[in-house]
Amino acid sequence: MINIGLLGLGTVGLGIVEILDKRKDELKAILGSELRIKKILVKNNSKKRSIDIEREMIATDFEDILEDEDISIIIEVTSDLENSYEYIKKALNAGKHVVTANKAIVSKYFEELSSLAREKNLAFLYEASVGGGIPILKPLREQTAINEITKVQGILNGTCNYILTRMFEEGMEYEDTLKMAKELGYAEVDPTADVEGYDTLRKLRILGTIALRGKISEEDMILDGISSITAFDMEQIKNMNSTVKLIGEVNMEDDKFTAVVQPTIINKDSYFSKVNMAYNSIVLIGDNVGELRFYGAGAGALPTADAVLRDVIDVVNNSYGKINPLGKREVQNNNSMIKDKYYLRISEIEEGDIEKLQKITDKILTTAENFTVITKKVFLKDILDLIKSLGLRKDKYFLGRILN
């Protein structure tokens, strides 16, 4: 019998309980011993739940779980940041393995928690933190032993991808689409972390740090979200025979990397243009393996729970973490050298500002209410500086990188 302490009983927590229940016999046959959730930490003990949980399993104090010597594995699936960081640290210090789906924690404390786990000879695993049900972090870690990874690129946020897909397909405005996404459960009540790109940023920080075997931090990345896109922009993008996706991308050459999360305009025939709705996809390039693509459900109770449980199985089978995710490579930020063509729309532009845009402009698309240009191939930093110098509010412009 392997006893688990589950922190959090939200969507993913319920998914874990469900799968462990329905796969009970198979898991016992495959693992040779039963996987049991012994205690569940919840904030609110009186909350109505969709499943029956035995009363003695519920804990409202983490210490009850920490002190339970039967429990060897902690699964952390809260949406909490600071408390859970403390829980994970305490769990590892108390000799318990930790599996988490919490990308915010993994991104923020990757080096600290990974080191602590290795020091204690314990597992700290987080497959579910990137790409939902897609097996990506383990395959990536395995590839880093045999390859120089030169690119990691992905559609990493289901909420943004859902909104952009519906806007593309139905010509709807951003605000209406977001509202619909909330109603259907594809977006949170406060969607900031998703639509402003922070969630993608965290996932890219994890992917990038593993891929390059050197630390990339959140601050190393250029970030832009999708919240200022309009139906007008989507129409222009369609006219370019293209669509737009929020893509996170790390590139590496000679120990120099670039790392950007940005709306990216891609041809309608390109691979990423077919990744729609709440699906995610990650593309890797290694010097030996070549290009690999992974695709699957980027979120959802069961796919995410599936990823968590794959980690748990690795813990039980003692087949985790032999490849240290912390590489020692010194990598240099080369974002100032990023050069591309961009689509830029400015609403309510002033006459003088049009002049300032002239030297970066290749083609003017529209000049009326929305002033829209395709730029020449320019440095991203120059165009960001220019936008800053124009004093534009975020909701008054939209910038998208044009990927051939």
Query: Could you list the active site residues?
Result: 203
Instruction: Find the distance separating the first CA and the last CA of the chain, reported in whole Å.
Output: 54
Segment near its own copies (CB under 8 A); pick from 36-44, 67-75, 179-187, 323-331: 323-331
| Residue number with CB closer to its own copies (97 or 108) | 97
User: What's the rounded Cα separation, in Å, for the pair 212 and 325?
Assistant: 10
**Least distance to its own copies from the beta carbon of 300, Å?**
7
Q: Which of 384, 387, 376 is nearest to 349 (CA)?
A: 387
Which listed residue (93, 319, 366, 367) binds its own copies by CB under 8 A? 319
Q: Site size for its own copies, by CB under 8 A?
A: 50
Specify the residue, 138 or 401, whose C-beta has the smaller distance to its own copies.
Answer: 138
Kindly state the smallest distance separating residue 357's Cβ from its own copies, in Å: 37
Rounded Cα distance between 38 and 54, Å, is 10
Neighbours of 86 (CB within 10 A): 11
The single residue among 48, 54, 121, 145 that binds its own copies, judged by CB under 8 A, is 145
Angle at 46 between CA 42 and CA 50, to 5 degrees: 80
Instruction: Report how far residue 372's alpha carbon sits from residue 349's, in angstroms, rounded to the nearest whole number.
Output: 10
- Cα angle 349, 350, 355; round to 5: 100
**Cβ closest to its own copies, residue 90 vs residue 310:** 310
Q: Is 143 in the site for its own copies (CB under 8 A)?
A: yes
Write out the binding residues for its own copies, residues 117-136 only, by CB under 8 A. 133-135
Encoded one letter per residue, x for contact with its own copies by CB under 8 A and - for no contact, window 25-64 reads -xx-xxx---------------------------------
Shortest distance, CB of residue 169 to its own copies, whole angstroms? 13
- 280 contacts 207 by C-beta, under 8 angstroms: no
Q: Pick the binder of its own copies from 24, 256, 293, 356 (CB under 8 A).
A: 293
Confirm or reject binding of residue 325 to its own copies (CB under 8 A). no
Whether 399 and 390 have beta carbons less than 8 Å apart is answered as no
Of the two residues 256 and 268, which places its CB atom closer to its own copies in the complex?
268
Residue 296 near its own copies by CB under 8 A: yes
The span of 117-125, 150-158, 248-256, 316-324 binding its own copies (CB under 8 A) equals 316-324
Pairing of strands 242-253, 279-286: unpaired
Burial letters 141-161, b for 16+ CB under 10 A, else e: bebbeebebbebbbbbbbbbb
The CA radius of gyration of the chain, in Å to the nearest whole number, is: 23
Candidate list 60, 93, 192, 317; residue touching its own copies; CB under 8 A: 317
Minimal distance in Å, beta carbon 291 to its own copies? 6
Q: 298 is written with which tokens?
A: 């980027």
**Count of beta carbons in the 10 Å neighbourhood of residue 362:** 12
Among 78, 100, 147, 228, binds its own copies (CB under 8 A): 147
Cβ proximity to its own copies, 8 vs 303, nearer residue: 303
- DSSP code at position 92: H
Q: Residue written as tokens 């509202």?
A: 179
Which one of 225, 263, 286, 400 is in contact with its own copies (CB under 8 A)?
286
Cβ neighbour number for residue 121 with a 10 Å cutoff: 9
Is 5 near its own copies (CB under 8 A)?
no
d(CA 178, CA 387): 26
Question: Given the rule CB under 8 A, which residues bind its own copies?
Answer: 15, 19, 23, 26-27, 29-31, 133-135, 139, 142-147, 271, 274, 281, 286, 288-297, 300, 302-303, 305-307, 309-310, 313-314, 317-320, 322-324, 328
